[in-house]
Amino acid sequence: MDLFQKTEGEHLWDIIQKNNIYPYFHELRSGQDTIVDMEGIRTVMIGSNNYLGLTSHPDVIAAGVEAIKQYGSGCSGSRFLNGTLDIHVKLEKELAEFLHKEACVTFSTGFQSNLGIISAIAGRNDVILCDKENHASIYDGCRLSYAKLIRYEHSDMEDLEAKLKEVPDDKGILIVTDGVFSMSGEICKLPEIVKLAKKYGARTMVDDAHGLGVLGAHGRGTAEYFGLEDQVDIYMGTFSKSLASLGGYMASTKKVVEYVKHTSRPYIFSASITPASVATARAALKILREHPERPKALLDISAYMREGLKKLGVKVIDANTPIISILVYDDEKAFVACKMLLERGVYVNSSVSPAVPVGQALLRTSYTATHTKEQMDYAMKQIKEVLDILGVK
């Protein structure tokens, strides 16, 4: 059989392109902000993860420009060999200090962080307990590790404990969970997870990609939100969201970090983060540390939008984060809604099967600390009108 046979025929993307409701790969003609130019349309952006609004902050931009002038455009090698700059080390120290951990290591992307951490820390004699709604990068990291993967029902602590009971005593156990689940915006049940981890001798890892800069009095994430910063063994996160850059990190004990640095194939065999990305992440982290009011502003504007949508009768998944997912149920209606909203100057993301269960299609919206109430009022009005036109109740 020809390897490329699977590429032939008509796929879903072909059909929705033909029907002019293709919601992907829209071209931006401006930087990420609360208002963007998307294919010539002035658009309220409620579909990015620019949570703190720092991608356009002058200090962040200036830091990136200066880093390119000093270090050039790239590192031309892995951290393991010639690709470690002094600013890589400074960023790792600053992150470790901010997150109250002994040490930190950075990766080239958030996705690669999960691949690199999980595949290094878990092996053939280990078992990974994974929430069914964890991010795809977690699942791929589990596969790369060769550990036995056991999925537990989403945020179902009874199911997690039942599965923990079945793990033999001679196996190492890792419980890994999103801090904030990227599709629903729900926060994980971290207090129950760490309690079960202690009971069954497991280690815990929290993917805080959507928690850093969002949750906690200082924006340190899910563990700070619950007062459990000393109870989580491994933090993972990204720079591409609150920190307005590109890259990812792991924070843990010095021993764990050193082990990962010397055994993780995705880390050892990848080029290091570019100078501009390091510098912009550092600048964003500095702003977060000095301005903890930004995460509060983010949660306030998100709550304003959530309550406004509810008052209009729009069905949303209830959560207390900047991710507000609107139930439209039908995949085609999700695609059509995205198109109609963009034409009205509002950008949202469609989430359809298999990213969500069949019949549970969503419009995934997400918010920025610098959004205004006027922008939110406009966006919620357009959302309500489009859903009414499509008959979504």
Task: Write out pLDDT tens, residues 44-56.
Answer: 999 999 999 999 9
Q: Tell me, what's the pLDDT at 393? A: 85
Mean pLDDT of all residues in 40-45: 97
Question: What gap in Å lies between CA 166 and CA 173, rounded to an integer?
Answer: 11
DSSP string, 39-106: TTEEEEE-S---TTS-TT-HHHHHHHHHHHHHH-S---SBTTTT---HHHHHHHHHHHHHTT-SEEEE
pLDDT band for 307, please (50, 70, 90 cuts): very high
pLDDT band for 355, please (50, 70, 90 cuts): confident
Comparing CA positions, the residue from 392, 384, 308, 302 lying closest to residue 341 is 384
CATH class entry, domain 58-290: alpha beta
Q: Tell me, what's the pLDDT at 354? A: 84
Q: Tell me, what's the pLDDT at 59? A: 98
CB atoms within 10 A of CB 362: 23
Phi/psi at 388 (5° precision): -65, -45
Q: Tell me, what's the pLDDT at 32? A: 94
Q: Output b/e per residue, 85-116; b: 16+ Cβ within 10 A.
A: bebbeebbebbbebbebebbbbbbbbbbbbbb
Query: Per DSSP, what are the bridge partners of residue 337?
Result: none
Phi/psi at 224 (5° precision): -65, -40
Mean pLDDT of all residues in 345-374: 94
- Cβ atoms of 110 and 100 within 8 Å: the answer is no
- Cβ atoms of 25 and 255 within 8 Å: the answer is no
Q: Tell me, what's the pLDDT at 173? A: 98
Residue ranges of the domains in the chain? 10-45+292-390, 58-290
The bridge status of strand 323-329 relative to strand 361-366 is antiparallel
- Cβ atoms of 224 and 179 within 8 Å: the answer is no
Question: What gap in Å lies between CA 152 and CA 132, rounded to an integer?
Answer: 6
Specify burial of residue 381 (Cβ count, 10 A radius: 0-12, 13-18, 19+): middle
Q: Tell me, what's the pLDDT at 353? A: 85
**Tens of pLDDT along 128-150?**
999 999 999 999 999 999 999 99
> Is the pLDDT reported for residue 357 higher than 90?
no
pLDDT band for 263, please (50, 70, 90 cuts): very high
Show which residues are catalytic. Answer: 182, 210, 241
Phi/psi at 58 (5° precision): -60, -35
> Is the pLDDT reported for residue 3 higher than 90?
yes
Mean pLDDT of all residues in 378-384: 98
Q: Tell me, what's the pLDDT at 255? A: 98
> Is the pLDDT reported for residue 257 higher than 90?
yes
> Among the CATH numbers 1.10.1060.10, 3.30.420.40, 3.90.1150.10, 3.40.50.150, which is that of 10-45+292-390?
3.90.1150.10
Average pLDDT, the chain: 97
Mean pLDDT of all residues in 196-222: 98
Residue type, 316: V
